[in-house]
Amino acid sequence: MDIKNKLKDRKLKEQEKKVDDILAAAKRIFSQKGFLKTTMDEIAYEAALSKPTIYKFFPTKEDLYFSLVIPVLEDCLKQMEEINLTLQLNIYSTGRKLLRDIANVFFNKYKEDPHMFRIGQLFQQAGMLWSLDKKTDSAIRDVSRAIMDEMRSIIIAAQTRRLFRESDARATANIIMGSVYGITQLHDSKLGSKSSETMDKIIEETVLFFERAIVFN
């Protein structure tokens, strides 16, 4: 490899590290303060980089926020699609297993990385999208809507296969998501994200509650 290529590769790696540092810093600050109260100055300070460097890679705060939110949502959507496919192939023999897989899409995401999950929650809160440009707003809403549509499709298919009891699929999906957000917020505010055993107990109790409410077998 000649000198020019070596320098080019080194520069590329340096840029990739800066982007990783910016995203890590933004994740921490957004999670702590929310989108509206976070400033690019704070992110630059947290990342130990200049603000012009931040803007070089992310022209606006919206672009930076969007870069963090979308991977979280897309991964949740991918897992929901895999669950739906498994259901369509008649691999699920019990509603209990299906319900636990649905819940674990979100609870496992929270346990893997609470910071990222909190950021995924923020877009749901009233007013969080008011300061986003239309393109960003639309993209986030489209993915989140697709997640809910996929969950409703799973619930309807499960009812057809008599794995779940008959209910309004939209309402059931909304209740499940509301419970997920409520439990994770309770865990953050009252218990602390380090108490994993307590979190597992709360998740188990919640899943058991839903089993009694909607599962046939």
**Burial profile 162-186: b = 16 or more Cβ within 10 angstroms, e = fewer:** ebbeeeebeebbeebbebbbebbee
What would the pLDDT profile of 19-72 be if each residue is shown by its tens digit? 999 999 998 998 888 778 899 999 999 999 999 999 999 888 888 888 888 888
Residue 164 phi, psi (nearest 5): -115, 150
Q: Where in the chain is the domain with CATH 1.10.357.10?
A: 62-214
Q: What whole-number distance in Å separates Cα of residue 146 and Cα of residue 169?
A: 15
pLDDT in tens, 5-19: 655 677 788 888 999
Location of each CATH 1.10.10.60 domain in the chain = 1-59
| Residue 215 φ/ψ, nearest 5 degrees | -95, 135
Q: Among candidates 212, 53, 77, 203, which has minimal Cα distance to 151?
A: 77
Work out the pLDDT band at 204, boundaries 50, 70, 90: confident
CATH code, residues 62-214? 1.10.357.10
Tokens 């077998």 sit on residue: 217
CATH number assigned to the domain covering 1-59: 1.10.10.60
Alpha-carbon distance of 76 to 64, in angstroms, equals 20
The amino acid at residue 113 is: D
Check residues 77 and 31 and name the one with the higher pLDDT. 77
- In the three-class reduction of DSSP (H, G, I as helix; E, B as strand; rest coil), residue 67 is classed as helix
Q: Write down the pTM of the prediction.
A: 0.79
